[in-house]
Chain A
Amino acid sequence: MIPTQAIIKDIDVHAIRQQFPVLSRMVKNHPLVYLDNAATTQKPQVVLDALLQYYSSYNANIHRGIHSLAEEATRAYEASRDTVQEFIHAESREEILFTKGTTEGINLVAQTWGRQHIQSGDEILISTMEHHSNIVPWHLLCLEKGAVLKVIPINEQGELELDAYENLLSTKTKIVSIVHVSNALGTINPVKKMIDMAHQAGAVVLVDGAQSSVHLDIDVQDLDCDFFAFSSHKLYGPTGIGVLYGKKNLLEAMPVYQGGGEMIKTVGFNSITFNDLPYKFEAGTPNIADTIAFKSALDFINEVGKDKIRRHENKLLHYATEKLEEIPNLKIIGKARQKVSVVSFIIGSIHPQDLGILLDNKGIAVRTGHHCAQPLMDHYGIPGTTRASFAMYNTMEEIDELIKGLQKAIKMLL
């Protein structure tokens, strides 16, 4: 029998690059080297086509229209929900709620499930490596309810300390809201095990999948998470559209989030009945065009193959890590054993902003700063890092350009 590894052919990066129009542009007289994929990914032609096609041939408001355009738009919009359901292996389509993005998904849970279940003295568990979007909604809820925010510590490599996590879990813990993959470090957290531990303590679990959904195979049933939030724009899809998965029984019992059209069944001035799932949580005209184009992005990923993409990205990560480590005084922040294709680093006393500006002068886009994870930067005692994050369309040559750009910048700055 042929081992699975062997039959996974390498992806044709150059053919893939042809699908992304923006990659052929020049920046500051240099070919663009886009290494800021953890912030947002570029969009393939099929996604751009889907947007244009919607607006140019069947733009209509969905669900209640009786005419052909409304019918076509509704079908396309709901087809996206089916594709998302398959993409994360949810049990039913009613469990897929469309949101603006990961941030809105987390806020939705905090404002509905959270306000219903969290009481004074209860504990909410997050970790040191959370993005601000998975800190602030819970902080606000704690302020409102008199609840306590507890934080799972990390070790020097940037991995969660599971013993400490176990000790933090108690009957007071009502929800664990944890990032699947750290945007600043690239660490893949052992969420399946953590979910199991939380459930044993009687807590529900929200997984912030903003970074993981593009790199890892997501099976919400296998993970057994209660909520899973992610964004389209980090999956080669449009901005302004995201998904909140929730277990059906939880979603059904939750109070509504926003009021308006679509989320109701009947409206009187004195009594209102709410719509069924998922529409109960989708008030108002949704982001139809971007939702439809999101399906094209997911189809594109499926067509290329997530396993092939992962293999390619891992190669890029290893090559970049190896090359970066050759640079004197360069320290990689986040050396977890399980990582996605994100590499964060500092070089001596050089400010990341200086590096970012000089790399941009060579057409190289990286992210510099605290990566919306200030508590994590405080943990390392640094103001921020320079972060390169890779996607399916990045090449080894681009990593060479990054290294060359860094060497030149270091020479100028020191």
Chain B
Amino acid sequence: MSDKHLNVKNFVMYYRTTRGEVKAVDNVSFNLDKGETVAVIGESGCGKSSLAKSLIRVLPRNVSVYRGTVLLDGLNLMELNEKAFEKEIRWVKITYIPQAALNSLNDVLKIGDQMIEPLVVKNKASRGEALEIAAKTLKSLGVSEEFLYRYPFELSGGMRQRVIIAMSLMVKPELMLLDEPTSSLDVLTQANIMNLMKKIKKEYKPSMIFITHDVSLSSELADKVAVMYAGQIVEFNNAEKFYKDPVHPYSRKLMESIPTLRTDKKLDYIPGSPPSLLNPPKGCRFRDRCPWRFEKCVEDPPITFLEKDFYVRCWLSVRG
């Protein structure tokens, strides 16, 4: 276990609203080797964005519970105080590429200014040096350096996304968190960005957590797959094994709903909608929509290990 690059164990994040406590990240565990990518797959509202943000400790204002173990190269991030985390982890070891880059950039600051901020503020680099690095990185991603002097609203969605990815690369992070990086883009741009990510994976070899609801998209980068449902990970598996033969009923239904190009397949869908994270039901949270449910499912399903440290949360997988 100790040679894992990233090891997340029993990670919890709840926050309070006027309607109650939202159990956004409910006891999540997974791990990564260096240079590996884990795809976190799930429907909207299952807590995947909260997971990413919580890992880089960008918590909602009314957070109530935040605990667990997050070992990055042996260092337990949860034990660091805020100041240390800000100084040594955020945009140093871990970077975060948010969903919908449209709103993540500051509209009143120039692109260049925003790109060099971490370097200038944290590493005390000079403005000139930092701008050079920014220009170079942009070029390597296919963006002309004149955009350094423009404002975000002057760029298209795809370019903004590239800018943010470039910002990530400038600090050569160990771990990149990508939260649905292509969901607001058109198909062509999406393909472009995915190719970019593949290139980055090959050249810089960062560990990545790639969050998406698009199962087929995830297959392009994933080494491991974690399926999230109602705040929990219901299946954590090796990518090849997963795409060929998923274990958890939810994963199976997801796969069945993907259209394939060359085979004739009857498309299926999952009826109903995921439970609210406010008061998740007792027992298996998927049972209301699961075609294979049985009486045992009203109890919390235990973790069944598949091979190595991969696991699934389902009564069907429990022998005996």
Are A and B interaction partners? no
- Residues on A facing B (Cβ under 8 Å): none
